[in-house]
Amino acid sequence: MSQETPVLRVKKGKELVLDITAAAFEGKGLGKVGDYAVFVKHTTPGDRVRVRITRKRKNFAEGVLLELVAPSPDRIPPKCRHAGTCGGCTWQHIAYEKELEYKSGHVRDHFQRIGGFKDIATEAVIGAPEPFYYRNKMEYTFGDRRWLTEREVASDREIADRDFALGLHVPGRYDRILNLEECHLQIPVSYEILDAVREHALSHDIAPYNTHRHEGFLRNLIIRNAEQTGDLMVNLVTNGEEEAIMAGFAEWLPSRFPQITTVIHTINDTRSPSSEGRYQKVLYGPGFITEHIGPYRFRIDPNTFFQTNTRQAKALYDVVLDALKPESVPVLYDLYCGVGTLSVYLSEMAGRVVGIELHPGAVEKARENAASNGVDHALFEQGDMKDIFNDDLIRRHGRPDVIVTDPPRAGMHESVIGQILEILPEKIIYVSCNSATQARDAALLAEKYSLERIQPVDMFPRTYHIESVAVLSRKGT
């Protein structure tokens, strides 16, 4: 074998010029040296780039972008100055219509390559009407170990507040915070609140938290907004109580931002990095916000899980609802139901809805959501899916005609798939944020089910993440 084979030409630390030919999963661009793959972040198909190899494996390598030699025609200027440093928006440099095309290709590739489904065509991605300002929740972090940007380092000026940061974690660094100077993920007032809280903390000499020493007061700033009602929650997470400091925040925040409808104080005085904390106090307002999805109302408490993109959540739920039509079903199971938003949304199409969820708090909230919306035919069971989804549960609630499942990124446990194949509902509607594990599970179900439809929905514009709905019908029905 010649020493000039592609694998031998690619070495860690070496610089190469590559043509990026494809958008790989997880937001990386793909270039090749012969048949050898090199993945590079912050690139797009059509780019010619100079890169340095940072990691080499038998079948692929990874590189860091050093220079954009010739830009792709699909490349656009990022909206935010932090693009490329912050981990919040990884695809700001790609035209949105191309982003949707790449995401559709990822879903199709997973079902063909991992699932083994041939000659399938995913439907056009349901894109977001607004690719920015779509998140209804942002969780920012305080820290005394600020990440200096290349621009700040190059300026060679003294940074007076370098020991105080409020922003997002730098990717891969739990202890370093990028001090945000702008953010376009949530409605504009979100960043305005972040900026004002930072200035308030600096002017009042309120210390940020240090994860190593377990010292300092301010830990997180969480902002949640309701698109349909306009409710706005600010939740400050701190290391201890300090009543005088929090009384100051409680008085100042609503007067500075009259849009705020409630202020929460969460106390996390442990070393746990969780923003949920040990307990909470309501400093202003009712302590929750209310949101609508379609005709249904949902109460959102500080730690309530809720789909992050409200408008696209409705689009996603409508895909599932349309898959149930035209006739209602006697019994519908909603596996991994969370706080029951989808269970409630689908209730008009089922005689009985049975939701199953692991977390007790989520089950309690699901029951509250059903009751507050007058949905008395939705029942909820708490437990680990692989243990509770069994013959006894089916005897108590009836055999499902349709199963809707929205599992974690890891997909469904084999025993859950086995139970589905035993009870054989007429239809399975599989919602997933990870089309790779969705395709794997669909392949296991293909013994007795036909894949009818794959509908991607873009819940997270400007990132590589994509939600997809797969509809499977029982063979022979």
Q: How many helices (H) and strands (E) does the chain have?
A: 12, 22
Question: Which helix (H) or strand (E) element contains residue 281?
Answer: strand 279-284
Which of 385, 423, 424, 376 shows the shortest CA–CA distance to 405?
Answer: 385
Which one-letter amino acid corresponds to residue 298?
Answer: F
Euclidean distance between CA atoms 47 and 27, whole angstroms: 14
User: Tokens for 262?
Assistant: 């409630």
Contact 198, 215 (CB under 8 A): no
Candidates 80, 89, 183, 433; catalytic one: 433
Q: How far is CA 172 from CA 25, 152, 209, 328, in A?
A: 18, 20, 19, 47
Could you identify the residue written with the tokens 């690619």?
10
Q: Who's near 192: CB < 8 A, 6+ residues apart?
A: 257
User: Tokens for 65?
Assistant: 């972008």
Could you identify the residue written with the tokens 């100055």?
81
In a 13 Å sphere around the CA of 137, the CA atoms on its Cβ side amount to 18
The 8-class DSSP code of residue 286 comes to: S
CB-count exposure of residue 379 (10 Å: 0-12, 13-18, 19+)? middle
Sheet holding 402-405, edge to edge: 378-382, 350-357, 329-335, 402-405, 427-432, 467-474, 449-457
Relative to beta strand 146-147, strand 137-143 is unpaired
Backbone angles phi, psi at 39, to 5 degrees: -105, 135
Q: How far is CA 72 from CA 20, 36, 45, 461, in A?
A: 9, 22, 7, 20
Euclidean distance between CA atoms 409 and 435, whole angstroms: 9
Q: How far is CA 251 from CA 232, 260, 289, in A?
A: 16, 12, 19
Euclidean distance between CA atoms 465 and 452, whole angstroms: 23
Contact 318, 389 (CB under 8 A): no
Residue 183 is among the residues annotated as catalytic for this protein = no
Query: Which sequence positions are flagged as catalytic?
Result: 433
